[in-house]
Amino acid sequence: MKLYHGTSEKHLEKILTKGLVPRRRRKGNWTEFPSRHDMVYLTAAYAPFFSLQAGGKQGVIIEVDCDLDTLYPDEDFIAQVIAKQTERDFHEIHDEVRKNLEQYKHHAVDSIQRLGNCCHKGAISTHNISRYVVIDFAKRSDLLLQFGDPQISLMNYMILGERYRSIITWLFEDSTEFLLGIGSNEQHLIMQERFSPGVSDYFHNLFQNRQGIDLVELAKAA
């Protein structure tokens, strides 16, 4: 399974040398709901957004070849499910779930399919990194709105997960366009042209523009 990790260019050299390493004692990006210090977090959908959150002039999206047996669910997924099923407050549950995440390991696939995120305990070897994309945010400010500030929730992923995943496939040149909304782009653009004439040309040009996006394929040792 291919999953992704969004980060900043300032970490790229170290990642290519040592692999993806848990933050350990380093301060995380999320203060209200801190991540596990011994996990590397992966996503099927939100890597462009996470690369923005990492700071820096350039974002990096790392593609990882994963063995499902090594993965754990994202604690946010487990906490959201428990909160929904028990009508308990998410804030009340999250810390408890994070501390005891090992007992939910069998829900790793559910976490990917229903929230788009999961995590890997310990370092991820460079041998599992197949490709990466570097995005120059100054040159590609037109993409920032597309990356957005998504609500990472079960409902939002059910509705817009396919769109988020399509942005990643476009960045890695595995598709010629990404989804602009729910439904086909043709339907979406026909509707938008009524209110914003010329929007179709704008997006067609955006899809064809690879300036400021560098895709790097990594050679694997025999």
HSE-up (13 A, CA, CB side) for residue 115: 24
For the domain with range 1-175+212-222, which CATH number is right: 3.90.1170.40, 3.20.170.30, 3.40.190.10, 2.60.40.10? 3.20.170.30
pTM over 0.85: yes
**What is the residue extent of each domain of the chain?**
1-175+212-222
What does 10-27 look like in DSSP terms, one character per residue? GGHHHHHHH-B---TTSP
Query: How far is residue 134's CA from residue 9's CA, in Å, rounded to a whole number?
Result: 7
Tell me what the mean pLDDT of segment 98-115 comes to.
97
The per-residue pLDDT of the chain, averaged, comes to 92
Q: What percent of the chain has pLDDT over 70?
A: 94
Closest CA to 109 of 30, 20, 3, 34: 3
Tell me what the mean pLDDT of segment 78-94 comes to.
92
- Per-residue confidence (pLDDT) for residue 43, from 0 to 100: 98
At 89, list the tokens.
Answer: 């407050």
Tell me what the mean pLDDT of segment 24-49 comes to.
80
Query: Predicted confidence band at 34 (pLDDT cuts at 50, 70, 90)?
Result: confident
Q: Which residues have CB under 8 Å from 169's CB, separation 6+?
A: 175, 178
HSE-up (13 A, CA, CB side) for residue 36: 25
pLDDT of 209 above 80: yes
176-208 residue pLDDT tens: 999 998 889 999 999 999 999 999 999 999 999
Query: How far is residue 132's CA from residue 61's CA, in Å, rounded to a whole number?
Result: 5
pLDDT of 29 above 60: no
SS3 110: helix
pLDDT of 28 above 90: no
- Per-residue confidence (pLDDT) for residue 222, from 0 to 100: 45
21-25, 26-30, 61-65, 88-92, range with the lowest pLDDT = 26-30
Q: Which residues have CB under 8 Å from 108's CB, separation 6+?
A: 68, 71, 72, 73, 118
Query: Predicted confidence band at 91 (pLDDT cuts at 50, 70, 90)?
Result: confident
108-146 residue pLDDT tens: 999 999 999 999 999 999 999 999 999 999 999 999 999
- Per-residue confidence (pLDDT) for residue 113, from 0 to 100: 98
Query: How far is residue 60's CA from residue 85's CA, in Å, rounded to a whole number?
Result: 36
Owner of token pair 């817009």: 160
- Per-residue confidence (pLDDT) for residue 220, from 0 to 100: 64
- In angstroms and rounded to an integer, the radius of gyration of the C-alpha atoms of the chain is 18
